[in-house]
């Protein structure tokens, strides 16, 4: 999430009541998660296991629960609860409406038809010649391109599934990102695409999604992908261009699928995959799988 205008380190520290390490005029441009963070942005870390990853990331401001040596050219915000204060920063700079207030400020292109039963949030942009079917829900800040088809009961821009356990309960990391649907995308019935926590969940140009597909926060789907029914993709995944995912494929969080890959029905993914065709619970190379099956059947 980029702020509307650059902030100063001391301003952010005063907002959350934290100590800071660095010049009080150190420029802060926004916030982001570790896998997408860029120079000028804040990333949070609250466990020693991940200190080095955060300190050595592209982030130039680290919201951390302990004062440590600060890398050159960076700054620290030292907080007793970085998770809580990350939420506080994000919701200070991004208003959360949750459909309780309607601004009726959607920008809608020529030739677009939206069924009267669709619900559209605030700060939404929809391109030209797009068709939105009954009972579609479009969350705040969603961006939809030209020539897009979104079929009934699909939800774009729901909350990210991102929690921590706190005092025996689940505490949500509030999502202030959005969903971006590029041009010429078709989305089937009953799909759910969560918005990014601090960045965008993206469906690339020309991709086609079947019915009942779940795509998690901050996942990026490439161009001209084909995704069949009941596929589940967790958050922070990167799917390359022209990837085919057949029915009930499941992809765990943070994994990458190289362009041109094909995942056959019910394939499970728990690691990055190079270009190829895969099958099985642990995404086995399809040719290797067939050879193994032949050998097993020939056993006497």
- Looking at the annotation, which residues are catalytic? 217
Helix axes 82-93, 9-16, angle to 10 degrees: 110
In angstroms, rounded to a whole number, what is the distance separating the alpha carbons of residues 34 and 218?
11
Structure tokens at 146: 């030209």
List Cβ<8 Å contacts ≥24 apart for 190-194.
Answer: 190/152, 190/153, 190/154, 191/154, 191/155, 191/215, 192/154, 192/155, 192/158, 193/154, 193/155, 193/156, 193/157, 193/158, 194/157, 194/158, 194/159, 194/160, 194/161, 194/235
Question: Do residues 138 and 158 touch, judged by C-beta distance below 8 A?
Answer: no
CB 118 within 8 A of CB 138: yes
Q: Within a 10 A sphere around the Cβ of 276, how many other Cβ atoms?
A: 16
Cβ atoms of 283 and 261 closer than 8 Å: no
E strand or H helix at 187: strand 186-187
* Helices and strands, number each (H, E), in the chain: 4, 34
Q: Is 245 helix (H, G, I), strand (E, B) or coil?
A: strand
- Is-contact 244 224, C-beta < 8 A? no
């Amino acid at each position: 999430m980029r702020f509307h205008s650059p902030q100063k380190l001391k301003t952010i520290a005063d907002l959350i009541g934290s100590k800071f390490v660095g010049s009080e005029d150190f420029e802060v441009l926004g916030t982001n998660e570790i896998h997408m963070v860029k120079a000028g942005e804040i990333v949070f870390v609250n466990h020693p296991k991940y200190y080095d990853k955060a300190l050595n990331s592209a982030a130039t401001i680290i919201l951390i629960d302990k004062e440590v040596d600060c890398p050159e050219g960076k700054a620290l915000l030292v907080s007793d609860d970085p998770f809580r204060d990350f939420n506080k920063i994000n919701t200070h700079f991004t208003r959360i409406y949750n459909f309780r207030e309607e601004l009726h400020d959607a920008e809608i292109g020529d030739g677009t038809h939206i069924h009267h039963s669709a619900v559209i949030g605030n700060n939404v942009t929809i391109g030209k010649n797009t068709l939105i079917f009954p009972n579609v829900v479009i969350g705040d800040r969603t961006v939809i391109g030209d020539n897009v088809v979104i079929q009934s009961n699909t939800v774009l821009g729901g909350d990210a599934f991102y929690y921590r356990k706190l005092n025996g309960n689940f505490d949500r990391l509030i999502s202030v990102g959005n969903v971006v649907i590029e041009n010429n995308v078709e989305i089937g019935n009953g799909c759910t695409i969560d918005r990014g926590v601090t960045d965008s969940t993206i469906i690339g140009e020309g991709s086609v999604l079947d019915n009942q597909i779940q795509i998690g926060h901050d996942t990026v789907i490439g161009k001209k992908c084909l995704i069949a029914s009941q596929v589940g993709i967790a958050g922070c995944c990167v799917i390359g261009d022209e990837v085919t995912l057949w029915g009930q494929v499941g992809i765990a969080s943070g994994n990458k699928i190289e362009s041109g890959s094909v995942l056959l029905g019910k394939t499970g993914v728990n690691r990055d995959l190079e270009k190829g065709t895969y099958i099985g619970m642990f995404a086995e190379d399809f040719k290797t799988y067939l050879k193994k099956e032949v050998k097993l059947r020939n056993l006497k």
